[in-house]
């Protein structure tokens, strides 16, 4: 039998086991919300070596091409093949310091006695904290800051590789991908990745995600419109 490689870890292959099974074995967290049946399209992995040793792509993977597979669908067909995979969860370097500016927080979501209000309307009972998320959706990297809306301080920063990479490495390729038969897939994958990261952030900090009341998203025009389900085809046309 040949081995499977991931981040320096090597394990022996067994026919019929999926990449997700091996991800569990090497303790790599891969997003999923469908019980690993191929419905959520969240568990995208890049097969860096050994694609020929895997089972053929299933109908659930029809939106993928190149060296990308769903971890729950890609099973070992030839244990004699060396296989190397990487989930789209690598932690790129991001800029966390910039020119300092003093800005007084003025959020729409505030505490009013025993209530949390949004724009003057009660939305919840105050439970000790009010948080917001600032999300920067870049073409290659997504950065998230958890902010205390009462003090204005940043509580936690996280980042992950943009999971839309399977649709192309630049905005023009992603515009073309979204104009094809899999329109909306890039948006769904991004929403799933953001929700997954929110859950990871809440778990690591020991807080309930319900206490996150506001989300602000910044992005270039293509990343923004893909996320908000706005047609991006005109962005890719020549003037």
pLDDT in tens, the chain (239 residues): 456 665 666 778 889 999 999 888 888 888 888 889 999 888 999 999 999 999 999 999 999 989 999 999 999 999 888 899 888 755 555 555 556 677 777 889 999 999 999 989 999 999 999 999 999 999 999 999 999 999 999 999 999 989 998 898 889 999 999 999 999 999 999 999 999 999 999 999 999 999 999 999 999 999 999 999 999 999 988 66
Is the pTM above the cut of 0.75? no
The domain over range 109-236 is classified in CATH as 3.30.420.480: yes
pLDDT at 179: 93
Q: Where in the chain is the domain with CATH 3.10.20.30?
A: 3-87
d(CA 222, CA 46): 23
Residue range(s) occupied by CATH 3.30.420.480 in the chain: 109-236
CATH fold, domain 3-87, is Ubiquitin-like (UB roll) (3.10.20)
């Amino acid at each position: 039998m040949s081995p499977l490689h991931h981040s320096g870890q090597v394990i022996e292959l067994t026919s019929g086991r999926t990449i997700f099974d091996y991800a569990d074995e090497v303790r790599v967290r891969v997003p999923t919300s469908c019980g690993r049946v191929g419905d959520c399209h969240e568990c995208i992995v890049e097969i860096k070596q050994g694609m020929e040793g895997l089972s053929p792509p299933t109908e659930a993977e029809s939106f993928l091409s190149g060296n990308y597979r769903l971890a729950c669908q890609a099973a070992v067909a030839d244990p004699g093949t060396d296989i190397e995979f990487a989930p789209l969860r690598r932690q790129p370097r991001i800029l966390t310091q910039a020119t300092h500016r003093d800005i007084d927080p003025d959020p729409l979501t505030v505490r009013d006695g025993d209530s949390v209000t949004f724009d003057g309307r009660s939305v919840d009972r105050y439970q000790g904290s009010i948080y917001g998320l600032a999300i920067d959706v870049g073409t290659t990297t997504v950065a998230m800051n958890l902010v205390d809306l009462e003090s204005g301080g940043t509580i936690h920063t996280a980042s992950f590789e943009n999971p839309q990479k399977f649709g192309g490495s630049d905005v023009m390729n992603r515009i073309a991908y979204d104009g094809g038969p899999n329109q909306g897939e890039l948006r769904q994958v991004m929403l799933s990745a953001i929700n997954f990261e929110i859950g990871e952030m809440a778990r690591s900090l020991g807080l309930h995600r319900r206490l996150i009341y506001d989300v602000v998203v910044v992005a270039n025009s293509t990343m923004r419109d893909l996320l908000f389900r706005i047609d991006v085809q005109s962005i890719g046309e020549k003037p």
